[in-house]
Amino acid sequence: MNKLGTILVVDDEPAILSALVDTLEDDYTVLTATNGKEALALLDKKLPDLIISDVSMPQMDGLEFLTNLKKKGLGVKIPLIFLSAKGQVADVEKGVNLGAYGYIVKPFLPTRLLEKVEEVFVKLEARKKMKKG
């Protein structure tokens, strides 16, 4: 089966990282990193279609990671969905105002994540068709 695209999953919690890979790997090629710094290094080698990132991580948190993506000019090209236990309105607004495509609060249902991922890929496909003319 052809994969629908490539997703970079960034989370420092091994159990969550593993669960995310299990949820996504049937339909998508999944790359993983355990913090923002590792993810940025990975982006020098391969650009995913979508990034799913935790907010709270050591070395470089998700907000700093997104800020660095924008500095590299990738913040607009690659949509990013935050997953976080930080579910206060101010936390969500901070992530979205920084440029995140979405913000899903942990714990979450895998179906909710898959719906958001599918939404992103539908928009990416529409963007490709518009560019082709």
- Mean pLDDT throughout 48-60? 95
pLDDT in tens, 83-112: 998 888 888 899 989 999 999 998 889 999
Burial per residue of 32-68, b for 16 or more beta-carbon CB atoms within 10 angstroms, e otherwise: bbbbbbbbbebbeeeebbbbbbbbebeebbbbbbbeb
Distance from C-alpha of 110 to C-alpha of 116, rounded to nearest angstrom:
10
Residue 75 pLDDT grade (very low, low, confident, very high; cuts 50, 70, 90): confident
Q: Could you tell me which residues come within 8 angstroms of residue 19 by beta carbon, excluding any fewer than 6 positions away?
A: 110
How do the domains of the chain map onto residue ranges? 6-132
Peptide bond into 48 cis (omega under 30): no
pLDDT in tens, 20-51: 999 999 999 999 999 999 999 999 999 999 99
Query: Would you say 49 and 124 are in contact if contact means Cβ atoms under 8 Å apart?
Result: yes
Architecture in CATH for domain 6-132:
3-Layer(aba) Sandwich (3.40)
The pLDDT, as a whole number, for residue 72 is 87
Tell if the pTM clears 0.85, that is, is over it: yes
Neighbours of 99 (CB within 10 A): 14
